[in-house]
Chains A and B, each alone.
Chain A
Amino acid sequence: MAKAKPFDEMHGGGDIRHPYRHYGAWLHSIDVEELERRHQAADLLFRRLGITFNVYGSDGGVERLIPFDIVPRILSSDEWGIVSRGVIQRVTALNAFLDDVYNDQDILRAGIVPASLILTNAAFRPEMLGMRVPEGAYAHVAGVDVVRVDPETFYVLEDNARTPSGVSYMLENRQVMMRLFPDLFAQHSVAPVDHYPELLLDTLRGVAPRGVDDPCVVLLTPGQFNSAYFEHAFLAEQMGIDLVEGQDLFVDDATVYMRTTRGPKRVDVIYRRIDDDFLDPLAFNPTSMLGVPGLLAAYRLGRVSVCNAIGGGVADDKAVYTYMPDIIRFYTGQEPILKNVPTWQLSKPDDLAYVLEHLHELVVKEVHGSGGYGMLVGPAATKAEIEDFRVKIKAHPALFIAQPTLALSTCPTYVEGGIAPRHVDLRPFVLSGRKTVVVPGGLTRVAMCKGSLVVNSSQGGGTKDTWVLESAVREGGHAGTRG
């Protein structure tokens, strides 16, 4: 339940908390005009570099800048240790779960997760049954949304196992911060994140079809009008791979080729940033202009690798989310390190009745929604909004889940007129191939409006650079072994 005062990452109970001790002193020594100057400089840098995202359904200036906040979010290496071990544990379990539901289905037989929830799920792809993907990796790139409510407690809000975005902001935010505040980086030992593209390329090459020594990896984008196009281009550039659209690829004799200036060239690994539905008009949505006809057949024959794997959405479904603690125990034999938010399934009559009575204090989400669209934040909603939602829920209860409103931690944020606390979350990016790794950091999203709990960029949220302070020894990132 929302408490009177949420936990603040910098001020905690009153005194400045340890990870912020140098930064806090610096922040207090600098005047507001100087902050404003650096804020403007950051804005200009982002605009010149063309780091923009496209907003769906808004006209006029279609390309927008994501508001960038110049105050970093700082985690100690111990705090990061909890988060990184937690997300690696979680993604390891997610991959094992996907491998299981598309093959042996032990977890369904054991009755841990109801078979009907999986087999009738819209994100479940029967086409994937009986297929063994390289390294047993399905969610090659997962963005796990973590929030914090007190010094020790981290919750996972969502596991994004389809095509999570935002990693380019993690990288560009760091570049911009290093240009604006070189002095602060000299004072702090901030763990680097810029090797992410290398790790990603390594992950993608590591899951190439068997027998391919020097795989040709491409990034498949829906095109330059997609909201995350900047990120697609950025990652392709950083990895030195081709950025392709569906029209650039074709399948011949169960082999995928791209059209180059010198004729067809074989493609071995596709890092796709297109949803399952649009990947192959022969297998899925027949009207899709974005996909590649025949891709699924080539994939099933193991002639090409698709990352993230097709059908992974069944693991990050909001209804499956409820079972994550049991899923983690089942595959890893360990207790979950990160907590799950208690969740009411509105398909269950008891849960539905409770939620309808407590709409004003709960968060209600669509099961298949994402990006903060179609979401009700009870404590912040008007009476009319709540009543609207009540009608929607009653019409299709199974499409919704509800959760208590968590008191997300706040972080000092530069707003007009000075520094004020704003709610934040954290999305670390976990890579799974031959092993499962995470770079120290992630994307901190911040709700720029006072009191708001919605951090999504499509809803006016901003981002911050995330600093993980290194303990004495530098390490290249926490690695876990897949098993």
Chain B
Amino acid sequence: MLARAADNIFWMARTVERAEHIARLMEVSMRSAMLPASGGNGGRLSDWETPLYMTGRVDDFFSRYEKVTEGRVLSYMILDKHNPSSIRSALGAARENARAVRHLLTSELWEILNRTWLDIADMTWNDVTRIGVPQHLEWVRFRSHLFRGALFGSQRRAEGFHIAGFGMAVERADNTARLLRAKWDSLQGDATVRAPDFYRAGVLLETLSAYKAYRETFSAQLEPRRIAELLIQRPDVPRSLAFCVREMDVMLRAMDPDSPLLGDLGALSRRLEGVQMVDLVRVGLHRFLDEIIAEVGRLSDRMRAHYLMVV
């Protein structure tokens, strides 16, 4: 397959996944913001500042707005044309990448991305509030599910498919790690009571479609340590890091059984398996997740340099 076309497919898949992630991030923010602030906030970021830090858009946001409000962050992260991290920008990039390789995609796959883009391209903030912000975010999530369904249900199992699968897994690993990192402190709850914040923990799990998985796996109360275990180590939870890394391995192996990247992937996988949650929680999850995020980024770069001729 043409290296440039493969790169288009890689980014098509990543940006759809990213749009879904931003939608989930907005959902978790909206629902957390409805909860009473635990323990006077203690210098933590507010629920509406978090998404700006997570996507690296703080400076840009404050160059345009004085204050962080729910409505501004939502419209900035959902519809803003000048914010490259907005859902609209991600879906636009997905569609542009797909357009460049539409001859390599099934017509279903192309039509889903094209229609999704046509639906959101001219949408105004008034349109979104008329539909309802939660309903709109749900729509974004469902369009992403539809895309994935068409990819798995119609695309030939050849290089293009495996590159899309790899791209999706890379993006998701990055997103889960960042979300867990950003929300970790807020799960610890009020230091004086030393009780975890059950509500925030529940919201986080639900946004990652992992609430049921938690209950089934542990059938116990929500505990930050177990939440971390679920989202980092459990290979059966589709948004966990272990799952994403395994998916990267499956896709890469199918594409090139002798890939020189498989060694690095194996090392990453063993690292996730071997870490002791008790230690991790004690010494701090942030550093560990930072390292994982960096390693996933390196793997993505190496994959692009090796197969997609990106220098």
Q: Please name 19 pairs of A and B residues whose Cβ atoms are closer than 8 Å in the assembled complex, sorted by A.
A: A48-B111, A224-B100, A233-B103, A234-B103, A237-B102, A237-B104, A242-B2, A242-B5, A243-B5, A245-B4, A248-B3, A248-B4, A259-B2, A259-B309, A260-B1, A261-B1, A261-B2, A261-B6, A261-B309
Least CB distance, B232 to chain A, in whole angstroms: 31
Q: B115 — which chain A residues lie within 8 A by C-beta?
A: 48
Instruction: Note all chain B residues with C-beta closer than 8 A to A242.
Output: 1-2, 5
> A242 CA to B103 CA in the complex, in Å?
9
CA distance A245 to B100 in the complex (A): 11
Report if B308 contacts A (CB, 8 A).
Answer: yes
For B114, the closest partner residue in chain A by CB is A50
Q: Which residues from chain B contact A248 at a C-beta distance below 8 Å?
A: 2-4
Interface assignment of A121: CB less than 8 Å from any CB of chain B: no
* Set of chain B residues within 8 Å of A478, measured between Cβ atoms: none
A423 to B225, CA, bound (A): 75
The interface bits of chain A over 255-268 (1 if a CB of B lies within 8 angstroms of the residue's CB, else 0) are 00011110000000
Task: Return the 9 tightest CB-CB contacts between A and B, nearest first.
Answer: A237-B103, A261-B307, A233-B103, A236-B103, A50-B114, A259-B3, A224-B100, A261-B6, A261-B1
Interface centre among A47, A229, A237 (most CB of B within 10 A): A237
Instruction: Fill in one digit per residue for B104-146: 1 if any A CB lies within 8 Å of its CB, else 0.
Output: 1001001100110010000000000000000000000000000
Check B80 for interface membership: any CB of A closer than 8 A. Answer: no
Tell me which of B2, B102, B163, B308 contacts A233 (CB under 8 A). B102
Report the minimum CB–CB distance from A201 to chain B (whole Å): 14
A270 to B118, CA, bound (A): 34
Q: Report A44-65 CB contacts with B as 1/0, cut-off 8 Å.
A: 0001111000000000000000
Name the residue of chain A whose CB is nearest to the CB of B4: A248
A183 to B107 alpha-carbon distance, docked (Å):
25
* Residue pair B103, A49 in contact (C-beta under 8 Å): no
Closest residue of chain A to B118, judged by CB?
A: A47
Indicate whether A49 sits within 8 Å of B2 (C-beta atoms), given known contacts A224-B99, A233-B103. Answer: no
Q: Once the chains are docked, how many angstroms separate the CA of A243 from the CA of B118?
A: 25
Instruction: Given A259-B309, A261-B307, decide whether A50 and B4 contact each other with a Cβ distance below 8 A.
Output: no
Closest-by-CB residue of B relative to A233 is: B103
A247 at the interface (CB under 8 A from B): yes
Enumerate chain B residues within 8 angstroms of A258, measured Cβ to Cβ: 2
Q: Does B159 contact A (CB under 8 A)?
A: yes
- Closest residue to A240 on the B side, CB-wise? B103
Q: Are B110 and A50 in contact (CB under 8 A)?
A: yes
Residue numbers of A with Cβ under 8 A of B are: 47-50, 224, 229, 233-234, 236-237, 242-245, 247-248, 258-261
Give the distance in Å from the alpha carbon of A81 to the alpha carbon of B3 in the complex. 46
Task: Provide the residues of chain B in CB contact with A49, threshold 8 Å.
Answer: 107, 111, 114
What's the least CB distance linking B56 to chain A, in Å? 28
A261 to B1, alpha carbons, bound, how many Å?
Answer: 6
Whole-angstrom CA separation of A47 from B122 in the bound complex: 15
In Å, the complex CA distance between A248 and B6 comes to 12
Chain A residues whose CB sits within 8 angstroms of the CB of B159 once the complex forms: 261
**What is the CA–CA distance of A244 and B309 in the complex, to the nearest angstrom?**
14
For the complex, give the distance between the alpha carbons of A242 and B114 in Å. 22
Contact assessment for B4 and A48 in the assembled complex, using a CB-CB cutoff below 8 Å = no
Q: A233-B103, A237-B103 are in contact. Are A259 and B111 (CB under 8 A)?
A: no
In the complex, the chain B residue whose C-beta lies closest to that of A63 is B99
- For chain B, give the interface size range: 20 to 34
Known contacts A47-B118, A50-B99, A236-B103; decide if A244 and B111 are in contact (CB<8 Å).
no
Contacts of B5 in A (CB 8 A): 242-243
The answer to whether A261 and B114 touch across the interface, beta carbons within 8 angstroms, is no
Chain B residue, CB-CB nearest to A239: B103
Provide the residues of chain A in CB contact with B309, threshold 8 Å: 259, 261
User: Is A260 a contact partner of B114 (Cβ separation < 8 A)?
Assistant: no
Docked pose: A50 CA to B107 CA in angstroms: 10
Contact across chains for A261 and B308 when beta carbons are under 8 A apart: yes
Q: Which residues of B contact A233 (CB under 8 A)?
A: 99, 102-103
Which chain B residues border A224 with CB–CB below 8 Å? 96, 99-100
- When distances are taken between beta carbons in the complex, the residues of chain B under 8 Å from A50 are 99, 102, 110-111, 114
Q: Which residues of A contact B96 (CB under 8 A)?
A: 224
Asked if B3 and A260 make an inter-chain contact with CB atoms under 8 angstroms apart, the answer reads: yes
By the criterion CB–CB under 8 Å, are B3 and A261 in contact? Answer: yes
A53 to B57, CA, bound (A): 35
Q: Bound state CA distance, A147 and B19, in angstroms?
A: 50
CB distance from A169 to the nearest CB of B (A): 16
- Kindly identify, within residues 1 to 23 of chain B, every residue whose CB is under 8 Å from any CB belonging to chain A: 1-6
Q: Which of B1, B4, B107 has the most CB of A within 10 A?
A: B4
Choose among A49, A229, A243, A248 the residue with the greatest number of B CB atoms under 10 Å from its CB: A243
Q: How far is the CB of A211 from chain B (nearest CB, A)?
A: 25
* CA distance in complex: A62, B294 (Å): 39
Given A259-B2, A259-B309, the answer on whether A243 and B103 have CB atoms closer than 8 Å is yes
Give me 18 other A-B pairs in contact (C-beta within 8 A), A243-B5, A248-B3, A259-B309 excluded. Answer: A48-B114, A49-B111, A50-B110, A50-B111, A50-B114, A224-B99, A229-B99, A233-B103, A234-B103, A243-B101, A245-B4, A247-B4, A248-B2, A248-B4, A259-B2, A260-B2, A261-B3, A261-B309
Bound-state CA distance A259–B100 (Å) is 16
In this complex, what residue of A is CB-closest to B117?
Answer: A50
Residue of B nearest to A242 (CB): B2
The residue among A48, A50, A245, A248 with the most chain B CB atoms within 10 A of its own CB is A50
Task: Give the docked Cα–Cα distance between A261 and B303 (Å).
Answer: 10
Min distance, Cβ B278 to any Cβ of chain A, angstroms = 43
Which chain A residues border B4 with CB–CB below 8 Å? 245, 247-248, 259
Report A394 CB to chain B, min CB distance, Å.
Answer: 45
Give the complex CA separation of A229 and B101 in angstroms. 11
Contacts of B110 in A (CB 8 A): 50
* B111: chain A residues within 8 A (beta carbon): 48-50
CB distance from A258 to the nearest CB of B (A): 6
A260 proximity list for chain B (CB < 8 A): 1-3
Q: Which residues of A contact B307 (CB under 8 A)?
A: 261
* Distance in angstroms between the alpha carbons of A47 and B111 in the assembled complex: 10
User: Which B285-311 residues sit within 8 Å CB-CB of chain A?
Assistant: 307-309
**Distance (Å) between the CB of B135 and the closest chain A CB?**
23
**CA–CA, A47 and B119, complex, Å:** 12
Q: How far, in Å, is B162 (CB) from chain A's closest CB?
A: 10
Residues of B within 8 A of A247 (CB): 4
Residues of B within 8 A of A245 (CB): 4
Chain A residues with CB under 8 Å of B308's CB are 261
Among A50, A233, A261, which residue has the most Cβ atoms of chain B within 10 A? Answer: A261
Q: Closest CB-CB distance, B253 to chain A, in whole Å?
A: 15
Contacts of A243 in B (CB 8 A): 2, 5, 101, 103
- Say how far B194's CB is from chain A's closest CB, in angstroms: 53
CA distance A237 to B159 in the complex (A): 16
CA distance A258 to B2 in the complex (A): 7
A465→B237 CA distance, assembly (Å): 52
Proximity bits, B19-42, A CB within 8 Å = 1, else 0 = 000000000000000000000000
Distance of A49 Cα from B100 Cα, bound (Å): 14
CA distance A1 to B76 in the complex (A): 61
CB distance from A167 to the nearest CB of B (A): 15
